[in-house]
A and B are shown apart, each in its own frame.
Chain A
């Protein structure tokens, strides 16, 4: 048992933190959010330059073969700085799919380019009405000749409007909510008959509703094995959920630091408002939420690399329950303790509030994971 970061990890964490501090201040971020693409290609290039895109991928593709704890450090910094770049979509979802299930040719085509910052990905999976049920896939793929034809709709695809390649889940057998019969495909976003309608999320990320109207793909588009996509989807989403937990921890840390600073500097009745016990105890509860959330994010990221599937599901859901509760608690309290200022567009706290609100839901809210946590319980003592 050991919580120490290695020298390399400490250096990594410091490097990202410094980058975010110097190149991603509030005004820079506002400009980036307002830009047509919704994220900065310069920042993306810098992230690639720092080696962050290659962190979890094999050295043979130009990566570093790092652990999930390495990526966790990046995600914490992304959360703290509220970065809007598609790191989760590209590294945490798309890249993970390809690293786990891609053919040699697929890996060689995409991973080196991804790592260099020249290829982004998105996971086109959620469909209208599916909520957080990963099995619900109605988009149809039918064989045609050597390849396939895809028909159907995907909704709320994170960074789907800018991704070079979409990882698309499709139904090749069974009913719309069966675990069996789901197949994954790699589809170019600019392929004919792919229609993308981009929108902005409340926390200033970009999502897309994507329509596939008779989209033809070749046999080389198949990712993994036909009809066996579900376990892979569950595994990759669990991985991405662990990363989201880490991102939330970073954002919570910022919200707490900003709120604490505000309590010490904002004066009313002739004294700093932090001298009032009513506020002190609320701040303490926010700090406790942070420490507990951080512990669960650590557990999630460590277990992703070491646990069997059954334990992984249970631990990831446990982590997401705690993170979702902490996101809601800290975001709401940080706004309340900032008073009217916490409501304003011009304060980062209101942006952190929105990101935390979304992170609480991403890949399932607390209620979704409470259900899964109970379903995956095996009463045992370590």
Chain B
């Protein structure tokens, strides 16, 4: 039987308590790392995982949600990091957090201007042009040795005062990353997020809803880039150094691999993908320098056999299992 009219709307309004529990739980889980760790290396690993989670999740707002496969989000990751690094290098530690803000603001402006250009083309052209622009930024950083330090990067990027304590800085990362991912989740669940998914599935029909496809693509491109820049800015303080590699194409590729691993069409796909990839790198890296061969092969197999990714395939499995149980019982 169909529910009564008044009931319909209450059916799936979600459970606020459960949601709050999830996000607070995540904060506590990551917050416990410094308490339970047996070496500072574990905390460093957790910092990397957190930052890549934000990077990959922000990236997937473009790809999985809106269908825009960018191979150049490293551009904003690098911008975010270099603003922090260079401002600390030339102006001093006090400029660490202002540098982060500056990196984010500049990234937003660059994303807006570049986005206006990029959205003119679609499909593989978009992908390859994002790649080209990120490589351009990489080349400039690489060659402008006097200012950027070129291939040597910048080392000794210290946070001001108490924030230079690795444990304090770790908590800064937790308090920035988890709420950022929460914000992205809100965006994905909002009407704007729905329009983005519709743009992905049927742009022609979106025009017939009276909505502008390219404008929405531009909006999410800027939003994604802002969060990527935040991830980059945070990373500058993790190892207290930045390097031109942050701009390079494999950095953009890394988040793509994470997303495929976790699941393209799942919000939490990149979340688990980032954890999985970094752990694989960490473990495999201890035995061989050819870890990109291993990762390449793993992701190749995922693409061919499990295109839904870890999270997606798990949900399918769970769905089947529940069905089986229901019929059995």
- Do A and B bind? no
Which A positions have Cβ atoms within 8 angstroms of B? none
Which B positions have Cβ atoms within 8 angstroms of A? none
